[in-house]
Structure 1
Amino acid sequence: MASRLFYGVLLALILSVLWLLLSGYWFKPLLVGFGVLAVTVALVTTARMGLLDGESVPFARLPQYFKYWSWLGAEIFKANIAVVRIAMAPDLNIKPVMTRVAVSAKSDMARATYANSITLTPGTVTIEVEETGFLVHALTEEFADQDAFRDMERRTIEAVEGRKALAKPRGEAGS
């Protein structure tokens, strides 16, 4: 019960600060009252759904998330350049690949973050999510690099679950 109270207070604080920053109405009592009402409704709904826990209120892990998002942003930028080079090449030598990617992430949040990170990275799309792994469509064989997928999963697990991912042997999941 104490942890639910902690996460409830943390969520209320973050939602209130976010509302104040985004709305810009700091001194209008009626509008601030609407903000308080909106935060209260969100908290009551979240509590009734049983979602006040560390996975659904992950604000304590924000530094790890920012580190991961920064890394992912750089990867997206590099993949964009690679896709543009392929698309602008005179011969347009694209050979799409479907590959299975093994997944060891335990939490639903880590698995969803990993699958979405693959899809956000240009040149790859997560097609299917299964218990043991993902089916990924890659624009070329270079985009289907299993080592790169393992590195992305390791970083996702460290950011979301807060644990070190176990290294997988080379070639565990292949196309």
Structure 2
Amino acid sequence: MLSVPSSNDAAIRNWGKRGNVPVLHTISLSIGLAALWWLLSGYTIPLILAFGAGSVALVVYIAHRMDVVDHEGHPIQVTWRWLTYLPWLGKEIVMANIDVVKAVLSPKGRVHTSVLRTKATQKTELGHVIYANSITLTPGTVTLAVEDGVMIVHALTRGAADGLKSGEMDRRCTAVEGAPGEDR
């Protein structure tokens, strides 16, 4: 008798291999979701922890079946680099807030808007997204568009425009991104 494998059988056989996703991505996602669940719930009762583990397992299973667990959706290589980037970005956000407040409250009118283009040296879409979002998170600047590795940015003050022209954020975002294919 000839049996035809169902799609469920194929999914079970390919668990951990689907879409060439290393098992490390699945494990990392599971640990991250479990830690987030525990931090948000704060429960340590065994039954509740079991429910949490079950919900994490279900979410990871569904994400895996949807084939959304990949190197861009869950970039392990970026995780450790955030430890140096996020404090720097936080400092930049605070400094930009101060600059915007001074510009808006200044009787001399220090608001000098401009639209400028800045080259993005990142090699992946993820790197471009990190850079564009970092620009937009910083008060006084908004990424309007990304075209062929060039960010079109609106800057509220000269200080914001000069900060972008210096290229420091671009260099740091490129460092967060890492080399294409690294740690995958």
What TM-score, normalized to structure 2? 0.77
Q: Aligned match of 1:103 in 111, 115, 120?
A: 120
Is 1:163 equivalent to 2:161 in the alignment?
Answer: no
Unpaired runs of 5+ in structure 1? 165-175
Q: CA deviation at 1:131?
A: 2.2
Q: Which amino acid aligns with 2:98?
A: I
Query: Mind listing any 5+ residue stretches in structure 2 that lack a counterpart?
Result: 1-16
Q: Distance in 2 between matches of 1:157 and 1:45?
A: 32
Mapped pair 1:132 → 2:149: yes
Q: Which residue of 2 aligns with 1:170?
A: none
- Rounded Cα–Cα distance in structure 1 between residues aligned with 2:94 and 2:83: 16
Q: Which has the larger radius of gyration?
A: 2
Report the Cα offset of residue 47 of structure 1: 1.2
Structure 1 residue 3: deviation in Å? 5.0
Cα distance 1:95–1:61, how it changes in 2: closer, same or farther (>3 A)? closer
SS in 2 for 1:125: strand
Q: Which residue of 1 aligns with 2:24?
A: 6
For the residues of structure 2 that align with 1:88 and 1:6, how far apart are their CA atoms?
51
Please give the root-mean-square deviation of Cα atoms over the aligned residues, in Å. 2.2
Secondary structure at 2:145 match in 1: strand
* Counterparts of 1:38 and 1:123, CA distance in 2: 41
Residues 61 and 113 (structure 1 numbering): CA distance in 2 closer, same or farther, change over 3 Å?
A: closer
List 4+ stretches of structure 1 deviating above 2 A: 1-4, 31-34, 48-63, 145-148
Q: How far is the alpha carbon of 1:162 from its aligned partner?
A: 1.6
